[in-house]
Every structure is written in structure tokens, then in C-alpha cells.
Amino acid sequence: MRGMFSIGRGGLITALLFAGLGAAASEKDSITVGGVTFDFGARAAPLTASQQAFFHHYKDAVNGHDQAALFGLLDSARSSCKFEGDQILLRDLQKTIPDNAQVRFFASNTDFVKAFGFGDMAYFPVAPTAVLGISFRSATKERVSVTQIMRPVRESGGRYTLVPYCLTEKGKNAMEKKQQSNP
């Protein structure tokens, strides 16, 4: 049965800044963020060779818990950040992406930080051209859960990069406060 998971304004600070747009829910095939629905159940064209290569590098970095490899996928616009939001991306290293995960590149240039009114906390230094969506299920005796990773990416010259999160001073202070309260 298909369902939908939506993140409202109140949940964005957690979802965006602290969970990096990763969602865990039960029996969901789509996620709506900022009024844009990403439907994993809809038909999609096969991944291009450059999309496959990018996903392979991303999956290897995440599954290998390799921070350097993950940061190597970041767009060079990261150097323009006053304060880097690396903590957001590092949350991905807590996951393991199985071989049977659904992978989509959703066309979207939506700036979710601005769409939710958090431009005073964080920003993208470059506009995303797509969203890398990864969805997979895990099951225990008690429940089935779905994990969805949504990462803004940029395609330029046939090459994909992760769009980095930059923090404003207010965002940096909020992140530091969060880290101090959750050592």
C-alpha cells in the first residue's frame, strides 16, 4: 500500500539540519518536502551512466563510513561557505544502504532551506539541479520501516556533486547548542 510522509515547517529544522533530510517511516513510497513530492513508486527512466557512477561512489562512502570519500563528492562551492554544515552530511555515515535500495534522481531545483523559511539558519551555495533519492526497507519481528535519504545534487558537464549545506552564524550557533546538549 502506498502512502506519503510529509515534513512540515516545525519538523524541518530536525529533518534538514540534524537528519539531513533522511526520513524513517513505515510503509511509505513517497516523501513530500517543501510542496514537492518525490514518489519512489512512480515509473522512472533508468539511471544514466553518470548517475550510476555518482550513486556507486556515494553508496561506497556511506557503507564504508568513509568521511573523506563522502566529502570528496561535495561540490566545490563548499569553499564559499562561511560556516560549513558538514554535520548534516555526516549523518549519512550512520546508515547502511543495501544493494536492493531504490535509487532515483528527481529533477528539482527547489531550495528546501528557503522553501521552509530557514534561510536565516542555512543556505545552499549553489542551486541544486536534482535530488538524489534513496529508499530502502528494513524489517524486524515487530515492524517494517522505510528509510529515505534525500540529498540535493548538482549536475554540471555530465558530472554530479552533492550540494553542500552552508550555515549562517545563527545556524552555526544552533548546531553547536544541539551538539552540546547531545554529546
For CA atoms 2, 38, 72, 113, give the dihedral sign: negative
The model's pLDDT over 60-92, given as tens digits with 9 standing for 90+, comes to 999 999 999 999 999 999 999 988 888 888 989
Q: What are phi and psi of 75, to 5 degrees?
A: -65, 145
User: CA nearest 40: which of 110, 144, 160, 136?
Assistant: 136
CB 97 within 8 A of CB 134: yes
Q: State the pLDDT confidence band at 57, using cuts at 50, 70 and 90.
A: very high
Q: Judging by DSSP bridges, how do beta strands 36-39 and 122-123 pair with one another?
A: unpaired
Grid cell for residue 6: 510529509
Q: Say which residue, 29 or 129, is predicted with more confidence.
A: 129
Q: Which H or E run includes 145?
A: strand 144-156
pLDDT confidence bin for 177, thresholds 50/70/90: confident
Contact 166, 77 (CB under 8 A): no
